[in-house]
């Protein structure tokens, strides 16, 4: 897993390791090339690489947060390995993505939050069913309406309210356990 973000709070290592042991490389945009080099040295050991990128804030608005440098790293990875790309920003950035047809999957979570990171990780590992379709045509690669639907294939993680349990009742259990 390669997680690229200027946000210091990154739960990706913990989230991924709930499902499978994985090497996780976290980096900001300034040290991206150094981190990529470390990953490249070991990439022969991997059959799949998950790349999660948050938008870079200091970019031309036409790039929608996906820098040329980040795209260069993606291109180098996708030509050597199966890659699942998770974009945590404006979906218009994906219009700038080269080689979109080479990815195993592309997921767009719209914004980098703890909740979206959790749900995307669960979806990748089969803990959540997902579906989505494109609102517009992407170059000549994908027509408007193209998309995917997956089934839940394993146990997922949720919040108490998803199974009609009041969170306050669980906090009472926590108090008993803590005694």
Residue 57 CA to its chain's centroid (Å): 18
Average pLDDT score, the chain = 86
**Does position 178 have pLDDT exceeding 90, yes or no?**
no
Report how far residue 178's alpha carbon sits from residue 30's, in angstroms, rounded to the nearest whole number: 42
**Does position 34 have pLDDT exceeding 90, yes or no?**
yes
Instruction: Give the confidence band of 8 by pLDDT, cuts at 50, 70, 90.
Output: low
What is the pLDDT averaged over residues 127-143? 83
pLDDT score of 166: 84
Q: How many other CB atoms are there within 10 angstroms of residue 129's CB atom?
A: 13
What residues form DSSP beta bridges with 48?
A: 82
What is the pLDDT averaged over residues 67-83? 90
In what helix (H) or strand (E) does residue 6 lie, and over which residues does it extend? none
Q: Would you call 27 helix, strand, or coil by DSSP?
A: strand
pLDDT score of 2: 92
Q: Which long-range contacts (CB under 8 A, 24 or more apart) does 37-42 make?
A: 39/2, 40/76
**Does position 74 have pLDDT exceeding 90, yes or no?**
yes
CB neighbour list of residue 140: distance below 8 Å, 6 or more residues apart: none
pLDDT score of 7: 79
Nearest CA to 64 among 111, 105, 9, 106? 111
**Does position 148 have pLDDT exceeding 70, yes or no?**
yes
**Does position 169 have pLDDT exceeding 90, yes or no?**
no
What is the pLDDT averaged over residues 95-120? 87
What is the pLDDT averaged over residues 31-50? 91
**Does position 139 have pLDDT exceeding 80, yes or no?**
no
**Does position 82 have pLDDT exceeding 90, yes or no?**
yes
């Amino acid at each position: 897993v390669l997680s690229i973000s200027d946000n210091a709070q990154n739960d990706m290592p913990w989230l991924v390791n709930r499902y499978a042991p994985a090497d996780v490389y976290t980096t900001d945009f300034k040290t991206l090339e150094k981190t990529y080099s470390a990953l490249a040295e070991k990439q022969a050991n991997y059959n799949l690489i998950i790349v999660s990128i948050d938008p870079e804030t200091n970019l031309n608005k036409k790039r929608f947060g996906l820098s040329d440098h980040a795209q260069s790293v993606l291109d180098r990875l996708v030509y050597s390995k199966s890659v699942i790309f998770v974009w945590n920003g404006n979906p218009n950035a994906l219009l700038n993505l080269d080689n979109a047809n080479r990815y195993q999957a592309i997921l767009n979570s719209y914004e980098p939050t703890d909740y979206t990171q959790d749900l995307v990780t669960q979806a990748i590992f089969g803990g959540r069913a997902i579906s989505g379709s494109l609102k517009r045509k992407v170059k000549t690669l994908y027509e408007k309406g193209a998309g995917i639907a997956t089934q839940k294939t394993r146990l997922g993680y949720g919040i108490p309210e998803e199974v009609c349990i009041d969170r306050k009742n669980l906090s009472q259990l926590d108090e008993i356990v803590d005694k």
